[in-house]
Chains A and B, each alone.
Chain A
Amino acid sequence: MRSLCLLLCLLLPNFAFSLDTALKGFIALDALNYEKISNAPGAAVIGIGVLDLKVFAEQDYLSAAIKLDLDNSKLSEANNIFEEAYASYRGIKGWRFSLGKGIIRFQNLHWGVIENSYLDGGSLIGTENGWRKVSRKNFISATYGYRGVGFADTFAVFGDSTEVKTYDNGSISYVTSGTTGTSGTPGTLSNPIKVTGYTGDNVPAFNTSKEQGFANKLELYRSGYWTLTAGQIYYRNKFAHTGSYAFDVGATRDADDWEFWVDLMWGKQSKGPFEAYSTYLKQEYFVQMGTQYHINTDWSWLANAEFTHVKDKYHDFSTSFVQEGKYYQGDVTRNFGQTARSQNYKIETGAQYNLSKSAFLTMGALYEKRKTTVDIARALNNFRYPNNNAYKLATTISFWF
């Protein structure tokens, strides 16, 4: 027996596989920021801007990645600690198959100068655009091509990682808060129960009978510097009255002297009446253009401009509905079938200093303006900053490792 154990120990090294793992991270610290929105007091902001950690593991043709969502996560909810968790197989030449939870790519996303893109929530006074970075989705995808052959096309089928809770009899579970009436028994026609949302469940897999999502992104690599992108996305779930879709084209020049990034997107979006950021029908446009000029190895100058226009038709909650003999109604003070049009634009410029190979200091300024018009005057009450402008002065330190 002892000899057998010895034999096993001697042979074990020959059965060992090569497993490579890596832990990578990105941290941006707001060192000295000052933000001012018109008609609101200005304030200094100091702290952590973004914090992301991603673990990669690779063995032969298989790889896996988990991205922890440390700065924007409700850790108490199941499956919520990770923003991405997927495995990929690259055993067939030119192909890459992935499965898991993560980002659905169709846009040409790029950080601005001192603030994130409108497509990833980078606004001081708020934007109404619905087609933002599509993250936290359960997906299966296939990519054909890679940089070496000059192109890559990724097609993904996806669904939400949060599902609306339904009971065995098909009825929907709502989040409720009091009643919409002032008198009478709660749940009756004169005093319906007030619905504030659907009850959501974090799920590790999606069901195509409840939702369908498709996305495609084509990337063309040209002359060693330019990457041209074209993306499309379609998504529909059973709560929305129609499907949502968007088209995006972009270009990026990545070089040691001038860098450029451009992104244009047009889309329509519809969501169920009680979904988060609900809309009956939203039509939106987005444009981003930016540049970075490397003056020398240490210093560079940056500029970025973005514009978004959104026409938003709201749901109408003026009538109640019945489920299992009880009357329910949404918040009619916020949703009464109004239409709002909003435009945001922002311009940023700044200088960047390379502290080391993987750290830089950015000093810059941002100006943003928003204009909102509504067809029913009281609809303006829905917005915190409907017609405001804002500026920000920032010094941020970014590290990646």
Chain B
Amino acid sequence: MKTQIKFWLFILTVGSTLVSCSHQQAAPDRSIASEKTKDCWNHVKGEYQTYFDNVEECIEKQDHK
């Protein structure tokens, strides 16, 4: 019984690691997005009335790649 639990825990650990790694594969996409948003951030200027609106626009674009 104990051996079986250990076996399944091992399988789940490997499975979890693989799933985590597959999530990590999304990183290049996110880095492309961040290249785009980097351009957005470069256009954020220190104008008091529009500063936070521009910041919000850049933050929200992270999901609109």
- Partner-B contacts on A (CB < 8 A): 3, 6-7, 10-11, 13-14, 20, 22, 24, 26, 28, 50, 52, 54, 56, 58, 60-61, 63, 65, 67, 88, 90, 109-111, 116-117, 120, 146-147, 254, 358-360, 398-400
**Contact: A3 with B46, CB < 8 Å?**
no
Q: With contacts A56-B59, A58-B62, A61-B63 known, is A50 near B48, CB below 8 A? A: yes
**Contact: A90 with B52, CB < 8 Å?**
no
Q: Count B-side interface residues using an 8 Å CB cutoff.
A: 25
Q: Which residue, B12, B20, B47, has most C-beta atoms of chain A within 10 A? A: B47
How many pairs, one residue from A and one from B, have CB atoms within 8 Å of each other in the complex?
74
Q: With contacts A26-B46, A52-B52, A109-B49 known, is A14 near B9, CB below 8 A? A: no
**Contact: B52 with A54, CB < 8 Å?**
yes
Where chain B touches its partner, the secondary structure class is: helix
Q: How far is the CB of A80 from chain B (nearest CB, A)?
A: 19
**Contact: B13 with A14, CB < 8 Å?**
no
B25 interface hit (Cβ, 8 Å): no
Closest to A53 in B: B52
**Contact: B59 with A120, CB < 8 Å?**
no
> Which residues of chain A are within 8 angstroms of B45 by Cβ–Cβ distance?
254
Q: How far is the CB of A395 from chain B (nearest CB, A)?
A: 16
Identify which of A13, A54, A63 contacts B60 (C-beta below 8 A): A63
Q: With contacts A13-B16, A24-B52, A56-B55 known, is A360 near B63, CB below 8 A? A: no
> Which residues of chain B are within 8 angstroms of A61 by Cβ–Cβ distance?
63
Interchain CA distance A111-B43 in the complex, whole Å: 17
> Which residues of chain A are within 8 angstroms of B32 by Cβ–Cβ distance?
none
**Contact: B59 with A116, CB < 8 Å?**
no
**Contact: B52 with A67, CB < 8 Å?**
yes
Interchain CA distance A116-B49 in the complex, whole Å: 9
C-beta contact mask, B17-50 vs A, less than 8 Å → 1, else 0? 0011000000000000000000000011111111
